[in-house]
Amino acid sequence: MAVVMSLRKALTIAGLDSGAGAGATADLKTFHSFGVYGMVALTSVTSQNTVEVRSISDVPPNVVEDEINVVAEDIGVDAAKTGMLSNSAIIATVSRTVRKWGFPLVVDPVMVAKSGARLLREDAVNSLRNLLLPIALVVTPNIPEAEVLTGETIKDLGDMGRAARWISREFGTSIVIVKGGHLTGPESVDVIYDSRHESLHELRAPRIDTSNTHGTGCSFSAAIAAGIAKGMDAMDAIRAAKEFITNAILYSVGVGHGHGPVNSLVSLQLSAAKYDALMDSIKATNRLIAAGLRSGVSISLLPLDYFRRGDEAIYVEFDEGRLGDPVFGLPNDFSSLAVEAIGKGLKGIVAIKGVTAQALNRCGAIKTVGTKYWIAMGDNAIDAANVIINCLDQHQ
Question: Which whole-number Å values give the CA distances from 162 to 139, 165, 188, 194, 216, in the listed order?
Answer: 15, 5, 18, 12, 23
Half-sphere exposure of 146 (CA within 13 A, CB side): 31
- Exactly one of 29, 81, 114, 179 is catalytic; name it: 179
- Exactly one of 21, 23, 83, 217 is catalytic; name it: 217
Buried b / exposed e over 5-32, threshold 16 CB at 10 Å, is eeebbbbbbbbbbebbbbbbbbbbbbbb
Between 216-229 and 234-250, two packed helices, what is the crossing angle to 10 degrees? 140
Residues composing the chain:
396
Does the annotation mark 151 as catalytic? no
Query: Any bridge partners for residue 175, and if so which?
Result: 138, 194
- Cα 274 to chain centroid distance, Å, stands at 15
Q: In what order do the strands lie in the sheet with 37-48?
A: 53-58, 37-48, 9-17, 79-82, 105-107, 138-139, 175-178, 187-194, 199-206
- Exactly one of 82, 140, 216, 285 is catalytic; name it: 216
Does the annotation mark 216 as catalytic? yes
Does the annotation mark 179 as catalytic? yes
Does the annotation mark 150 as catalytic? no
* DSSP code string of 268-304: HHHHHHHHHHHHHHHHHHHHHHHTT--EEEEEEEPPT
Work out whether the CA dihedral 263, 269, 274, 277 comes out positive or negative. Answer: negative
Count of CB atoms situated within 10 Å of the CB of 229? 28
- Exactly one of 218, 242, 260, 378 is catalytic; name it: 218
- Exactly one of 215, 227, 260, 348 is catalytic; name it: 215
Does the annotation mark 213 as catalytic? yes
d(CA 356, CA 107) in angstroms, rounded, equals 66
d(CA 194, CA 200) in angstroms, rounded, equals 6
d(CA 334, CA 88) in angstroms, rounded, equals 60
* DSSP code string of 169-180: HHH--SEEEEB-
Catalytic positions: 179, 213, 215-218
